[in-house]
Chains A and B, each alone.
Chain A
Amino acid sequence: MRPFDYQAPADAGTAVAAVAARPDAAFLGGGTNLVDHLRLGVAEPGLLVDVTGLLPTGISDDGGGLRIGAGVANADLAADSRVRRHYPVLARALLSGASGQLRNMATTGGNPLQRTRCLYFQDVTTPCNKRSPGSGCAAIGGATRQHAILGASEHCIATHPSDMAVALSALDAQVEVLGPDGERTLAFGELHRLPGDAPERDTVLEHGELITAIVLPPLPVAARSDYRKVRDRASYAFALVSVAAALEVTECRITDSRVAFGGVAHTPWRARRAERVLRGATPSDEAFHAAAAAELADARPQDGVDGGNAFKIPLLTRTLAGTLRDLARQEA
């Protein structure tokens, strides 16, 4: 672990300037991911700029939606009554993640930016293009149970581990960012990027850009939404696959839906093809399976020394069907 400098500035502008000025600087949120990476040698920043004291920690009404300060703890966000009522998928995604202690520390800004749990990424003795560009990808042909089936590249097959991000992707959230050149807002769905030939970049954020808030739009369909996370043990494990879904059924037809997947791609995977298949369909297992099939048409499972991850295709199909079935039943 490399020695580093530490600063805790009083305002966001100073923090952004401090990080922007040093290529080896990083923001420090709750630290539940970054501090692990310091210990493991996965991240070796020369300067940590602690933003926990300066980011907004409130959740406010925003034109029918909600503006969530980037400093809001995951635990507080999950407990917010407006979130629970209007966006249950988000509360459930948060509560399915990590542990109570971690959720108390983890922040709204840090959670979507947590890095992959790829075992090789976290082990500096193995090659990894994401950690050390150009060194190769040890995961390909290795232990791939938790790796991607969608959107991977020959350079990286990692998955994004955040549950919260899958919900935000389904909810059409917006991300507010302060950078060296000022503020900008981007769609949450544009935040993360596929690995391509530059897996070292998880997101489109530039160095020095600070997430200051996440905005949830008014979204009536989200009132009937759910997050279903599948994993081997009942708690405290990352998703093998997960489904964030919202469903609106009017007169026995699906009139609106939001679907996103976790555990299957380098990004939270918004399943727009599935949503298109669902629109206008009668809720039924056939329709749900057709939606999954459309989304997974390009899925490419990985072999692996641990048996690989081909099981994710049937597993995700069945998890999606089960989640939509339950939501449709709630509607009825």
Chain B
Amino acid sequence: MSETLEHRAIGADLPRRDGDRKVRGTAVYADESPAQDPVYCRIVQAPLARGRITSVDPAPAEAEDGVLAVLTPATAERLADTSDAEYAILQDDEVHFRGQIVAAVIAETFEQARYAADLVDVRYDEQPGDTLLSADRPDLYRPEQVETGAAPDTSEGDVDAAVAAGPARIQQTYTTPMLHNNPMEPHATTALWEPASHGGAGSLTLWDSTQGVHTVRETVYTVLGLDREQVRVVCPYVGGGFGSKGIPHQNVVTAAMAARAVPGRPVRLALTRQQTFSLAGYRPPTIQQVALAAGDDGRLTAIANDVVEQTSRVKEFAEQTVLPARTMYAAPNRRTSTRLAALDVPIPSWMRAPGECPGMFAPEVAMDELAHELGIDPIELRERNEPDTHPESGLPFSSRNLLACLRRGAEQFGWPDRDPLPGVRSHGGWWWGTGVAASVYPTMRMPVSEAEISRVDGRYVARIGATDLGTGTWTALVQIAADALGVAVDEVDVLIGDTDHPMASVAGGSSGINTWGSTLVAAAQEFRKRFGDTPADGDSARAGVPANEAAERYAMSAFGAQFAEVAVHADTGEIRVPRLYGTFAVGRVVNPRMARSQLVGGMTMGLGMALYENSLFDPRTGHVVNHDLAEYHVPTQADVADLRADWIDEHDPHVNAMGTKGIGEIGIVGTAAAVANAAWHATGTRVRDLPVTLDTVL
């Protein structure tokens, strides 16, 4: 479909429709959902990486005041479908990773549940855990596919021969650490099982903090063996997810199981920050061996990224780290490969820009190294390697404005006067440097979503089971629906966040607006087709998301360029980032203030990845030992100085009716490379292992 909408509301700088509710504190989140006589569930976690439960004695917990039930592998309900091993909760005695749920206590008060959980006596037969990722493990294997469904490996030409031929070459190993999503709002669920409803078959309602109410419903009804209609999931607001609430994790299914153990009583289950580190997924650590070769003219003759990363033994997660090296630059010889180590570790999952984010760090630092070796400006080097078509599929890009972002960003940042020499600028007791890196994120549209538009009391009411992660969906979808209907935003309400609304895809892969917006446009067209411009109250039409046949003819991605200025303290090596600018080409921007906060937020998170974030994994125990926000460092206000995001006016007629590409993730892609490149430019020390900390540049 080509862009069809006339933009009136799209592009307007409207304030959030839900802003007032959030500022006043009346927006209700999962753990505080209104509930009659709620009870509380506290999980018990295995303190070992691998082993077998030999006994669980719930008696000391059951003897405590207020305790209603203790779920153990012996007493928990048998689940109907555990083909996804993450959801095989309390189904057998195996311990697959440290932090796995081995029991759950339900009590009248939070304090009683917490205390009683400590009293559940679980005994184990511990086996040695195998938890350490390395590139030379003999048991590395190639997964069938990476997370997006793409091939794990690709190869064209002969990279090794091209690298041997040079004349310029970079062959280096880069690593990114294990990283954890840390949304402010905990992973929380309020769950109610009402046995008498649904014709006596019972119904389950989950007020859950999730990126997709329908995704949760699909999982929960399948795992519990219920009918889809027996499960309702409600989630009007989310205090951040960053991917960790993208698919439901063990806590959600446990909350449902707990609710069924105490029929009629709403059960609240919120993970503590510490529990989140083993149960809500994480970005797996990666080891990336990058090879670049180029002629003296700076044209790449080879590009390769051979990736080793980890998954859990109990469930495979193959991060798509290889993807950026396939998309970014032209080169006749190219190779990517994915090898996994299956370890006794918690299950990795999505974290903002899975794949693209770690997978851009290594190649974008390598490009900086190559630029230095060739004596070519890093922006010029990227210009010389700009492909005409997608380097691997050969498809033309629907639009590709990487160079425009680099040029405009360079101008705003003041790049042209840059002295390329590293480690030569010292003033005020600090070493100064600047760095650049590119950003990329694929433009996606999910295959399933449906919306309904109705005329109600003289207004247009659209319903779609979409989610607002704090990103602005409540507002942006109104803007799209208004333009699709050709009316003012004041005439439109959009209702989201409830499985009572039509099926919508998960808020993930930066696909939300692309998918739900396309769906609303289709529904508006259907509505107008059937009821014209003067509909009557009660008129209502539905439509599903249209397929994008242009996706077969075009490669679709958003691009960007990030510029960092880094200061490194001459005595202490402390690293500060006085300036971080990003310029992006993300198609049509639906709402500039919300887009800016997405991009700035992504860049801030990228800054965290560059300098601070590091899940300190202790291979002896198999767990992350800095599992709280005092010790897992994300950027503070004081770390974010002059941080700016803007975008070029990009018009892409192929992506969807709105012309949008998705903005939730691209901001974090490339940031760490830009900062690391700037740190090198400041100090002359090249750090290839994230995070870049003061001891590495001392």
Contacts and interface: CB of A to CB of B under 8 A. Distances in A.
Interface string B631-653: 10101111100000000000000
Interface in B538-577: 571-576
A117 B621 contact: no
Interface string B610-624: 011000111111010
Interface residues of B, number: 39
B37 interface: no
B139 interface: no
Contact of B571 (A119, A125, A143, A321): A321
A306 B616 contact: yes
A233 B571 contact: no
Contacts of B638: 233-236
A141 B620 CA distance: 9
B385 interface: no
Interface string A274-308: 00000000000000000000000000000001110
A311 interface: yes
B630 A117 contact: yes
A119 B693 contact: no
Nearest to B626: A119
Interface stretch (B110-118, B244-252, B300-308): B110-118
B115 A119 contact: no
A305 B620 CA distance: 9
Contacts of B136: none
B424 interface: no
Nearest to A314: B698
Given A230-B572, A235-B639, A236-B636, A311 B698 contact: yes
B535 interface: no
B695 A119 contact: no
A235 B630 CA distance: 11
A232 B694 contact: yes
B47 interface: yes
A145 to B, nearest CB: 8
A21 interface: no
Contacts of A234: 576, 636, 638-639
A114 to B, nearest CB: 12
Given A1-B115, A142-B618, A305-B618, A319 B639 contact: no
B111 A1 contact: yes
A314 B696 CA distance: 12
A315 B572 contact: yes
B571 A318 contact: yes
A120 interface: yes
Nearest to B607: A233
A180 interface: no
A291 B635 CA distance: 34
Contacts of B429: 322
A3 B115 contact: yes
A142 B620 contact: yes
A122 B627 CA distance: 10
A318 B569 CA distance: 11
Contacts of A236: 636, 638
B625 interface: yes
Contact of A120 (B574, B625, B695): B625
A2 B625 contact: no
Secondary structure of the A contact surface, majority rule = loop
A143 B694 contact: no
A119 B620 contact: no
Contacts of B635: 233
Nearest to B64: A3
B115 A117 contact: no
Contacts of B571: 318-319, 321-322
A315 B695 CA distance: 8
Contacts of B572: 230, 315, 318-319, 322
A78 to B, nearest CB: 17
Contacts of B616: 119, 143, 145, 305-306
A13 B640 CA distance: 48
A65 interface: no
Contact of A230 (B115, B574, B623, B630): B574
Task: Find the residue from B571, B619, B623, B636 having the highest chain A CB count within 10 A.
Answer: B571
B367 to A, nearest CB: 26
Contacts of A231: 574
A311 B697 CA distance: 10
A324 to B, nearest CB: 11
Contacts of B695: 307, 311, 315
Contacts of A319: 571-572
Contacts of A321: 571
Contacts of B617: 305
Contacts of B639: 233-235
A170 to B, nearest CB: 19
Interface in B82-123: 111, 114-115, 118
A237 interface: yes
B612 A305 contact: no
Task: Find the residue from A2, A230, A232 having the highest chain B CB count within 10 A.
Answer: A232
Contacts of A62: none
A132 interface: no
A86 B116 CA distance: 52
Interface string A1-30: 111000000000000000000000000000
A86 B691 CA distance: 40
A1 B625 contact: no
A235 B625 contact: no
A232 B611 contact: yes
Contact of B618 (A143, A145, A322): A143
Nearest to A231: B574
Interface in B675-698: 691, 693-695, 698
A41 interface: yes
A9 B611 CA distance: 47
Contacts of B574: 230-232
B517 to A, nearest CB: 37
A210 B587 CA distance: 65
Interface in A243-297: none
Leading 5 A-B pairs by shortest Cβ distance? A322-B571, A311-B695, A235-B638, A234-B638, A125-B47
29 contacts: A1-B114, A2-B115, A2-B118, A117-B630, A120-B625, A126-B625, A141-B620, A143-B616, A143-B625, A145-B616, A230-B572, A230-B574, A231-B574, A232-B612, A232-B633, A232-B693, A233-B611, A233-B636, A233-B638, A234-B639, A235-B639, A305-B616, A307-B695, A311-B695, A315-B573, A315-B695, A315-B698, A318-B698, A322-B572
Interface of A: 1-3, 41, 117, 119-120, 122-123, 125-126, 138, 141-143, 145, 230-238, 240, 305-307, 311, 314-315, 318-319, 321-322
